[in-house]
A and B are shown apart, each in its own frame.
Chain A
Amino acid sequence: MKLHITNGHLIDPANGIDAPHDLYISEGKIAGVDAAPSGFSAERTIDATGLTVIPGLVDLSARLREPGYEYKATLESEMQAALQGGVTSLVCPPDTDPVLDEPGLVEMLKYRAEKLNQAHVYPLGALTVGLKGRALTEMAELTEAGCIGFSQADAPIFDTIVLLRAMQYAQTFGFTVWLRPQDPHLALGGIAHSGPMASRLGLPGVPVMAETIALHTIFELVRHTGARVHLCRISSAAGLDLIRTAKKEGLPVTCDVGAHHVHLTDMDIGFFDANARLVPPLRAQRDRDAICQALADGTIDAICSDHTPVDDDEKLMPFGEASPGATGLELLLSLALKWAGPLTQAIAKVTSDPARVLGLQCGRLDVGRVADLCIIDTNARWTVNAAALASQGKHTPFLGYELSGQVRTTIVAGHVAYTRAMARLTP
């Protein structure tokens, strides 16, 4: 299929393009930017007048809930949600049931995802068997099966020797270790940011030092092992200061933030709203401000959706018993645009920057690259409600919010995978 996207405004942060450019796609790849390649004759033309053309979104954390949690969400529902959100590549954490600690499971997931012919799925393998924090997984085999890195998801490693060995072993093969920095002892039983809000509500807290102490440990292990580490879901101002210093020192670390944490604080828990029960917990105003600042100065590499579908039975419970997490794939674009930074930088944080973290070729629109892209209306306003979401997870702290930015068309490897049905004006 030869595709011509015309009259759109192209934003391709990796190439510094922010201009009205046509795009030409042939055989699943970008064939021309601005100028048509010689002899190009489009089989289909998409008119993007008034719209913006951007690389497909790259999401560093989206739980698809397969295998094992199909009652919460299925691959089909969540892959559809990804397309509706303009996400063409996504990383899924290994905390499925069974956990992704065997090559066969990873191959099955990859196979099921590829059959759907939608977004590209990049699984993270479990860093330890069963995520139990004791024995290392077969990282080389898992990589062959399709894992892009190794993670503990939200499971703790209590024993620092295991973490040291895991990082040494990963470094041996050049694999990336994905860690969410949190001291498991200090965080034990905590469900909200330690601070005045948690004290008032009587909710057990997770102190900021749970994050900073874990970061100190990780950085010391990185210095010792040279392992490449991606830090997931940073939540605090103090944590970001440590990462900024570590990056200056030249440590091979990158980091992301969950889209919720760019906008919300612990005050949004309000009257025990379980939709605001997230991992890590929403922190204070000054932490949120530091996150916005760290996005601007590059300390934070990427914004991810941290998509976690939770069903009603597990959310309609007292705050402390409710399952943590929120739906996010379909909000990622709007939440990135809502960040006060410049538009191209906001788009970079969900496209070229996470692609760079992954070391993948996606997230940019050079001639010859795979044609993963989406056409968005940055001005379209929509209201977050259950009916608007394709994901089986309907719970989000943004329920009822009006957000800006909506995907019109998502193109994966040159084929139109999703087109939003628009109300037609009758002449």
Chain B
Amino acid sequence: MHNPQLNANGELQHLLTIEGLPKAVIINILDTASSFVSLSDREVKKVPLMRGKSVFNLFFENSTRTRTTFEIACKRLSADVINLNINASSASKGESLLDTIDNLSAMHADMFVVRHGQSGAPYLIAKHLIDTKQSHVHVVNAGDGRHAHPTQGLLDMYTIRHYKKDFSNLTVAIVGDILHSRVARSDIHALTTLGVPEVRAIAPRTLLPGGLEQMGVRVFTDMNAGLKDVDVIIMLRLQNERMSGALLPSAQEFFKSYGLTPERLALAKPDAIVMHPGPMNRGVEIDSAVADGGQAVILPQVTFGIAVRMAVMSILASKPA
């Protein structure tokens, strides 16, 4: 089966998922990102790598952080960036997704950064670009349904590497709503590819998808047992609509069993770092004392996110058609 994110030479043509990416490709993205991190400290925060290229930020789902960091990344690479917030309901009434893509392609887009509520939507776009012989146009998945959020996964890896240097001796715990989380899936694929020996998922049974073990994950339902001696804790956002009903009885009860408090954090290694893809629900999945504490690296994640997105886009843009 043809993997649409790699070109005929096995190079990255689109970034759709971390699953199946060679380790060397991930390392190359992280290395490229580190060369961009220092850029923020310069007076002129720009490089001309994508001058004259048009990037369309195509967001079918709301986002502030991801869209903004992609926009900043584009600007620092000197690309022209066009932001489109397409309300999913108006799109469903009128133009189809592929019609939208064709129209924007006719405006000479060089890259689409796509967020969509449906798992796999960026694949449909990538396949359509191949079918319509527009393979010079690149697609970056900025989050699709429950499937993948590869740039978040990569920026998480960048953050872990920054603080822990080496992946080969780490224990990483991902806590919370794994079932609905594209971030969790991308993190799991990235961590296992980079050789992290133990990846843990901690959640109540209602928020755990089946088959996690086949993805190389050790499943815990007891938060205290799961956090024991971990090096990295990745907390996931619990969305409001999950907090009452058949998945969870209440936000309070979730916090009591799975909220990250200073007492629970003490079970991890003393130098453990705490990550969160944001936006945080203080008092639901994470205690403010932890979120604002010395072990939290949540704001550096955001900063590194810009460099990682610059790296992904510049690498894709450098690929010949």
| Interface residue B262 (Cβ < 8 Å from any Cβ of A) | no
Residue of B nearest to A205 (CB): B210
CB <8 Å contact, B146 and A318: no
Known: A316-B124, A317-B97, A318-B97. A199 touches B119 (CB 8 A): no
CB <8 Å contact, B212 and A199: yes
CB <8 Å contact, B215 and A202: no
CA distance A216 to B124 in the complex (A): 39
Q: A310-323 CB contact bits vs B (8 Å, 1 = yes)? A: 00010011111100
Q: Interface size for chain A: under 10, 10 to 19, 20 to 34, or 35 or more residues?
A: 20 to 34
| Interface residue B145 (Cβ < 8 Å from any Cβ of A) | yes
Chain A neighbourhood of B119, CB < 8 A: 201-203, 272, 318-320
CA distance A273 to B214 in the complex (A): 22
A-B contact count (CB 8 A): 76
A185 to chain B minimum Cβ distance, whole angstroms, is 10
Within 8 Å by CB of A194, from B121, B145, B210, lies B210
B319 to chain A minimum Cβ distance, whole angstroms, is 19
Within 8 Å by CB of B1, from A202, A270, A319, lies A270
Chain B neighbourhood of A202, CB < 8 A: 119, 144-148, 182, 185
Chain A neighbourhood of B127, CB < 8 A: 271
CA distance A205 to B180 in the complex (A): 12
| Interface residue A195 (Cβ < 8 Å from any Cβ of B) | yes
Q: A273-306 CB contact bits vs B (8 Å, 1 = yes)? A: 0100000000000000000000000000000000
B128-175 at interface with A (beta carbon < 8 Å): 128, 144-148
| Interface residue A200 (Cβ < 8 Å from any Cβ of B) | yes
Q: Which of A270, A313, A318, A319 has most chain B Cβ within 10 Å?
A: A318
| Interface residue B211 (Cβ < 8 Å from any Cβ of A) | yes
| Interface residue A196 (Cβ < 8 Å from any Cβ of B) | yes
CB <8 Å contact, B145 and A272: no
CB <8 Å contact, A196 and B211: yes
CA distance A376 to B92 in the complex (A): 45
B147 to chain A minimum Cβ distance, whole angstroms, is 3
CA distance A313 to B97 in the complex (A): 10
CA distance A259 to B267 in the complex (A): 54
CA distance A202 to B146 in the complex (A): 4
Chain A neighbourhood of B215, CB < 8 A: 196, 199-200
CB <8 Å contact, A318 and B210: no
| Interface residue B19 (Cβ < 8 Å from any Cβ of A) | yes
CB <8 Å contact, A318 and B147: no
CA distance A316 to B101 in the complex (A): 13
Chain A neighbourhood of B19, CB < 8 A: 200
28 contacts between A and B (CB under 8 A): A195-B210, A195-B211, A196-B210, A196-B211, A198-B210, A198-B211, A199-B211, A199-B212, A200-B215, A201-B119, A202-B145, A204-B146, A205-B210, A271-B1, A271-B123, A271-B127, A272-B119, A272-B120, A272-B124, A274-B124, A316-B128, A317-B97, A318-B97, A318-B116, A318-B118, A318-B120, A319-B119, A320-B145
Q: A200-B19, A272-B123, A320-B145 are in contact. List 8 more A-B contacts (CB 8 A).
A: A196-B215, A197-B211, A198-B211, A199-B209, A200-B185, A202-B144, A203-B120, A316-B98
- Residues of chain B touching chain A, judged by Cβ–Cβ distance below 8 Å, are 1-4, 19, 96-98, 116, 118-121, 123-124, 127-128, 144-148, 182, 185, 209-212, 214-215
- Residues of chain A touching chain B, judged by Cβ–Cβ distance below 8 Å, are 194-205, 270-272, 274, 313, 316-321
